[in-house]
Chain A
């Protein structure tokens, strides 16, 4: 187990993000299927379109973020968004998501957010400055997510917040090589 992955996991758990380690493609599909329970639609970020088939076979209703109108998520059943992290900050247990406004908005409006994080990315160390500069010049907001939506606005009691995902889970993908290689 890498120390940076451990550091990330500890910090993320402190912030209320559940972390699950997966090592193979079938484990990844199983994990998503189990976390996306409840019959809510699963909205996949564009880079995960290859999962549509696998998740569909598990009986999940899958849609692609690029083909989804964010406004549809404002009412009705809660969606589960599945995204790939562009990076992470081990010290604060934060995941970094990049993408168009539309895809990022779907992330915000999902009831549950599953983030796939390449453990190698943690190990190699993220050049945050490069990532930020790339994000602010290539368009679309950069999200740094460190926990589920929360608020202490009422008597300072911590409860699930009013806007963003109620739950955030991170699948730490550890395959010993760049994880995208497990995509077909």
Chain B
């Protein structure tokens, strides 16, 4: 209930939501442009560095201890936040220092260092602009890199005006200029400085730190006692590796190199400076021992995942997060504070998967979040009812379409459904066509000539039970081009189990489907799909869940239907067909992104005579059954996201929307009022008559 209230409050502030959308769309685009300019070499190199470092972390920590001590510093390897705070306090106390200036360090936020020191009479001065703003406002950072991004310029001005003692106006240039003067005056007399690190080289003990303001150079340059607080996972072997890691973090955060990258060390000749490196475990080493969780420790803290998260960019980090915010914040909170802390906001992950596509080091963030959800002790009955009930509902709907379509519009039934299963009465439910795909196929010719071989079609629940026309269209297209089509009787992909964190049930479903499809794959057949989520499950989720060769083999055989038939379609589509000139907005479903199928489909829609328009608006906010669920943090947020996407789509003035996803279709038709077609429908309507 707390999450619902928080979401409701933030959604009332339209200006703030507008600000967040603008900021994260801009950041996403700038980052993508920068990342594409450097190519894949650096990210892939850093991914190998991260894997190698994590695999040898114990050894690296021993090597680092020797390096730091050899170079005149001291390494403190601490188990938890409390110990880390005690070490820092002890260092300051021994030197009689009562004032500490800080550069940005999320690990110090994680361990609650400021509060610990201030409660013991030590003044703490944040020198990073964003950190100083939230320190003065007595808030926590809402973003890994932009702690005050949730505040408007007027709010920032009020906070800093109050500190500086005069009205700074609301022009950010003037506000920052005034802060520049003030922070320079303020750092005099601070004997100690604390920084985080982007990477630490075990061979030399050197720290690599990036900033765009340069404040860490001020802090370390001015301080007599230098303390670095960082997580143990930041340690790598080799100074070039450390620089690569820091450089990638900066590029992936902003799309450009950092204004300042600094390498510090050794400390023995550092003009009298005393150096302490406080390396914090705080659950990281335990996560390292877990086959699936350890992947998250690759994180370089670039926050690229925030830019595309549909819920984070709507509600911000004070709702979507604790100390760590956003998608990867679920992982970090779970590791450092335990799954209960993370599960206070993990519901805001809708499993769209876009964050994983942005992650420069290939962390499967949504799957890690599902894992964290699976650790919750308060699994909700309603989630279970929806996860298990939607297929049963679809079976009943396929058998009694008239009754189910009628009852779906009944206020009494919808109220009951909301009460029992938490399905929001105001959200549309799919309309059933009646019958299922297998019944329809039994009435059609199944003995097409098959000069090109056999394929397996996996329709998933919607094309099987709700609207079999898509499934039938898929089969007809395949037959038209000479394939014999096998449609095994299977259950659905089981995505709701993954989405709500029922991983045991998800694994059981995955096992069933992989076992059913594997013999076909072994016989050389490919598995084609028309539902992007089904392909996502087969390709990404099942191999992760099962971790075996069979699931990997099945994953490698999965194809998007349109992409699979692209060469045939290129030769057979009629640009003068019945859909000629129709202005179509092509909405790429999240689970189709990054597969390459979206470019093919877009091109083929054009070849079918449609005038195709599209832009990357990210997730439409339906996300399977999530957007149907009652509550501000689910259907309320889903509609908010969906309306924003629908508004942008309407700006293109399309006649029709085309999308592969059944749930995107439901959301977009509800919120735009436009007809929504599956690409299969377009293709089957646009084949040359000969």
Q: Using CB atoms, name the residue of chain B closest to A101.
A: B271
Shortest distance in angstroms between B212's beta carbon and chain A's nearest beta carbon? 5
**Cβ proximity bits B77-113 to A, threshold 8 Å, 1 near / 0 not:** 0000000000000000000000000000000000000
**Cβ proximity bits B228-250 to A, threshold 8 Å, 1 near / 0 not:** 00000000000110010001000
Interface size on A, residues (CB 8 A): 52
> Is the beta-carbon distance between B172 and A155 smaller than 8 angstroms?
yes
User: Which A residues lie within 8 Å of B214 (CB)?
Assistant: 108, 149, 161, 163-165
Is A152 in contact with chain B by the CB < 8 A criterion? yes
> Is the beta-carbon distance between A94 and B257 smaller than 8 angstroms?
yes
Complex Cα distance A153/B239, Å?
30
Q: Using CB atoms, name the residue of chain A closest to B218.
A: A163
User: Which A residues lie within 8 Å of B265 (CB)?
Assistant: 136
Residues of B164-215 whose CB lies within 8 A of A: 172-173, 175-177, 179-180, 183-185, 187-188, 201, 204, 206, 211-215
Interface size on B, residues (CB 8 A): 65
**Cβ proximity bits B262-296 to A, threshold 8 Å, 1 near / 0 not:** 11111011110100000000000000000000000
Contacts known (A74-B188, A149-B213); A164 close to B173, Cβ less than 8 A: no
Complex Cα distance A107/B214, Å?
10
Interface stretch (choices A57-65, A138-146, A175-183) = A138-146
User: Which A residues lie within 8 Å of B22 (CB)?
Assistant: 156
User: Which B residues lie within 8 Å of A94 (CB)?
Assistant: 257, 261
User: Which B residues lie within 8 Å of A161 (CB)?
Assistant: 129, 176, 180, 212-215, 259
User: Which B residues lie within 8 Å of A136 (CB)?
Assistant: 201, 204, 206, 239, 263, 265-266
Is B144 in contact with chain A by the CB < 8 A criterion? no
Q: Using CB atoms, name the residue of chain B closest to A71.
A: B188
Contacts known (A104-B221, A137-B204, A141-B264); A154 close to B176, Cβ less than 8 A: yes
From the candidates B19, B206, B211, B263, name the one contacting A155 in the complex (CB within 8 A): B19
User: Which B residues lie within 8 Å of A163 (CB)?
Assistant: 127, 180, 183-184, 211, 213-215, 217-218
Is A159 in contact with chain B by the CB < 8 A criterion? yes
User: Which B residues lie within 8 Å of A74 (CB)?
Assistant: 184-185, 187-188
> Is the beta-carbon distance between B222 and A70 smaller than 8 angstroms?
yes
> Is the beta-carbon distance between A156 and B259 smaller than 8 angstroms?
no
> Is the beta-carbon distance between B129 and A151 smaller than 8 angstroms?
yes
Is A162 in contact with chain B by the CB < 8 A criterion? yes
Is A23 in contact with chain B by the CB < 8 A criterion? no
Residues of A118-174 whose CB lies within 8 A of B: 128-129, 132-133, 135-157, 159-165
Q: Using CB atoms, name the residue of chain B closest to A100.
A: B271
> Is the beta-carbon distance between A164 and B213 smaller than 8 angstroms?
yes
Contacts known (A163-B127, A164-B260); A137 close to B266, Cβ less than 8 A: yes
Is B68 in contact with chain A by the CB < 8 A criterion? no
Shortest distance in angstroms between A19's beta carbon and chain B's nearest beta carbon? 15
Is A25 in contact with chain B by the CB < 8 A criterion? no
Is B220 in contact with chain A by the CB < 8 A criterion? yes
Contacts known (A105-B217, A139-B270, A161-B214); A153 close to B263, Cβ less than 8 A: no
From the candidates A93, A138, A160, name the one contacting B173 in the complex (CB within 8 A): A160
Shortest distance in angstroms between B49's beta carbon and chain A's nearest beta carbon? 15
Is A15 in contact with chain B by the CB < 8 A criterion? yes
> Is the beta-carbon distance between A135 and B263 smaller than 8 angstroms?
yes
> Is the beta-carbon distance between B179 and A162 smaller than 8 angstroms?
yes
> Is the beta-carbon distance between B259 and A105 smaller than 8 angstroms?
no
User: Which B residues lie within 8 Å of A145 (CB)?
Assistant: 259-260
Residue among B188, B218, B270 with the highest chain A CB neighbour number at 10 A: B218
User: Which B residues lie within 8 Å of A101 (CB)?
Assistant: 220-221, 270-271, 273
Is A37 in contact with chain B by the CB < 8 A criterion? no
Residue among A92, A109, A154, A165 with the highest chain B CB neighbour number at 10 A: A154
Q: Using CB atoms, name the residue of chain B closest to A106.
A: B221
Complex Cα distance A137/B19, Å?
46
Is B26 in contact with chain A by the CB < 8 A criterion? yes
Is A102 in contact with chain B by the CB < 8 A criterion? yes
> Is the beta-carbon distance between A153 and B147 smaller than 8 angstroms?
yes
Is B572 in contact with chain A by the CB < 8 A criterion? no
User: Which B residues lie within 8 Å of A75 (CB)?
Assistant: 184-185
**Cβ proximity bits B464-497 to A, threshold 8 Å, 1 near / 0 not:** 0000000000000000000000000000000000
Complex Cα distance A109/B624, Å?
53
> Is the beta-carbon distance between B179 and A144 smaller than 8 angstroms?
no
> Is the beta-carbon distance between B263 and A132 smaller than 8 angstroms?
yes
**Cβ proximity bits B618-659 to A, threshold 8 Å, 1 near / 0 not:** 000000000000000000000000000000000000000000
Contacts known (A15-B257, A102-B271, A129-B239); A160 close to B217, Cβ less than 8 A: no
Complex Cα distance A138/B201, Å?
16
Contacts known (A132-B240, A144-B262, A159-B172); A154 close to B213, Cβ less than 8 A: no
User: Which A residues lie within 8 Å of B261 (CB)?
Assistant: 94, 143-144, 146
Is B156 in contact with chain A by the CB < 8 A criterion? yes
Complex Cα distance A135/B205, Å?
12
User: Which B residues lie within 8 Å of A102 (CB)?
Assistant: 221, 271
User: Which B residues lie within 8 Å of A157 (CB)?
Assistant: 153, 172
> Is the beta-carbon distance between B259 and A150 smaller than 8 angstroms?
yes
User: Which A residues lie within 8 Å of B262 (CB)?
Assistant: 141-144
Shortest distance in angstroms between B163's beta carbon and chain A's nearest beta carbon? 13
> Is the beta-carbon distance between B173 and A159 smaller than 8 angstroms?
yes
Residue among A101, A105, A128, A135 with the highest chain B CB neighbour number at 10 A: A101
From the candidates A138, A148, A156, name the one contacting B149 in the complex (CB within 8 A): A156
Is B600 in contact with chain A by the CB < 8 A criterion? no
> Is the beta-carbon distance between B217 and A132 smaller than 8 angstroms?
no
Q: Using CB atoms, name the residue of chain B closest to A165.
A: B214
Complex Cα distance A153/B215, Å?
13
Shortest distance in angstroms between A58's beta carbon and chain B's nearest beta carbon? 28
From the candidates B23, B243, B254, B259, name the one contacting A149 in the complex (CB within 8 A): B259
Query: 5 interchain pairs (CB within 8 A)?
Result: A15-B259, A149-B260, A150-B212, A154-B148, A163-B183
| Contacts beyond the supplied A146-B261, A162-B180: 9 A-B pairs with Cβ under 8 Å | A91-B38, A108-B217, A144-B263, A145-B260, A146-B256, A149-B212, A153-B129, A157-B153, A161-B214
- The interface of chain A, by Cβ under 8 A from chain B, is 14-15, 70-71, 74-75, 91-94, 100-102, 104-105, 107-109, 128-129, 132-133, 135-157, 159-165
Closest 6 CB pairs of A and B: A164-B214, A105-B221, A139-B269, A161-B213, A153-B130, A144-B261
